[in-house]
């Protein structure tokens, strides 16, 4: 996970003029370490054609939260959500694989400012909760993290600025940066809907391409969604940016209530490695392969501040 101003989504990078999507150059955690196998049972790998392109996390048995900038279509047999994974390049009995029944981005998501960067995925089956697959708790509405709070961020994103991919889930710590300072460093691009995090020392440490949509964790709760970072992953001059989940609790609950499974209908619960619908039972292979790139999008100013000169990269694209 490298901290570059990139929007972290589809396994490649989108370089915006004067801005850069988080993790555009990679999809691993930079300066991190391998997570203890299955110690983060809520983590999800979102894959297209067998390739990991965005992270996510399980918040209810049928719901995964991720970033809105991850272009995840619904009911597409090429898209799968893998739970219970540690290594993506080989099948694991702990894995549960699902299709995406609904993909709901926040209605006010702005791809230029990357504000309101949150998406809810309704799976086509309920996850079987066990020691490998668990949900993570959400924060209370509108709660904020104090500057200096040390959190953990994780993912299968690039582990260097050269596109090196990890063999297993990676994690690293990051310290919350005061929003006013972060806004100055980003020249006005940071809104009240965002959290900022950076390495506590001079080492390159943070998120990179492919980490988009992953969780920012503090005391067993998820407070942020990996959104974007600097062009150079792990660069402390441009803190990594996360969607502030506590600002969206009401919206999340409304979405889940609106799509509750009708009473009286039975729901399929796949076992380890099983999926419902097209491609059922298929385990995804290696997460490697070509990265998808999207065309540039013209930046615009956020509020009264100027757009940062550093490229903004969408992590995972």
Catalytic positions are 69, 117, 212
Rounded to an integer, what distance in angstroms lies between the CA atom of residue 265 and that of residue 43? 28
Would you put residue 50 in left (φ > 0), alpha (ψ -120 to 50) or beta?
left
Rounded to an integer, what distance in angstroms lies between the CA atom of residue 315 and that of residue 22? 4
Rounded to an integer, what distance in angstroms lies between the CA atom of residue 119 and that of residue 213? 9
Take residue 165 and report the two structure tokens written for it: 């991919």
Take residue 270 and report the two structure tokens written for it: 């796949």
Take residue 99 and report the two structure tokens written for it: 């299709």
Rounded to an integer, what distance in angstroms lies between the CA atom of residue 232 and that of residue 190? 18
- How many DSSP H helices and E strands does the chain contain? 2, 16
CB 3 within 8 A of CB 30: yes
Rounded to an integer, what distance in angstroms lies between the CA atom of residue 146 and that of residue 131? 31
For every residue of 23-60, DSSP letters joined together read TTT-SS-BT-EEPPTTS-TTEEEEEETTEEEEEEEEEE
């Amino acid at each position: 996970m490298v901290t570059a101003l990139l929007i972290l989504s589809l396994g490649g990078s989108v370089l915006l003029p004067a801005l850069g999507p988080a993790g555009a150059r990679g999809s691993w955690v930079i300066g991190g370490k391998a997570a203890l196998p299955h110690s983060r049972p809520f983590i999800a790998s979102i894959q297209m054609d067998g390739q990991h392109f965005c992270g996510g996390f399980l918040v209810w048995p049928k719901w995964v939260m991720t970033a809105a900038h991850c272009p995840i279509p619904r009911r597409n047999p090429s898209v799968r959500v893998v739970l219970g994974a540690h290594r993506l390049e080989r099948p694991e009995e702990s894995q549960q694989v699902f299709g995406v029944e609904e993909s709901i981005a926040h209605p006010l998501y702005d791809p230029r400012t990357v504000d309101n960067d949150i998406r809810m995925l309704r799976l086509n089956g309920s996850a079987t909760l066990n020691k490998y697959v668990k949900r993570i708790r959400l924060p209370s509405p509108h709660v904020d993290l104090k500057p200096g709070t040390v959190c953990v961020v994780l993912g299968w994103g690039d582990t260097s600025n050269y596109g090196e991919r990890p063999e297993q889930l990676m994690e690293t710590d990051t310290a919350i940066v005061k929003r006013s300072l972060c806004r100055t460093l980003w020249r006005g691009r940071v809104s009240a809907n965002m959290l900022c995090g950076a390495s506590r020392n001079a080492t390159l440490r943070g998120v990179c391409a492919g980490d988009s949509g992953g969780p920012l964790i503090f005391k067993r709760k998820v407070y942020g969604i990996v959104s974007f970072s600097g062009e150079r992953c792990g660069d402390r001059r441009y803190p990594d940016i996360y969607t502030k989940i506590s600002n969206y609790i009401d919206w999340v609950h409304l979405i889940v209530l609106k799509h509750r499974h009708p009473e009286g209908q039975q729901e399929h619960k796949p076992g380890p490695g099983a999926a419902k619908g097209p491609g059922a039972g298929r385990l995804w292979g290696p997460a490697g392969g070509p990265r998808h790139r999207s065309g540039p999008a013209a930046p615009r100013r956020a509020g009264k501040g100027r757009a940062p000169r550093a490229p903004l990269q969408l992590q995972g694209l």
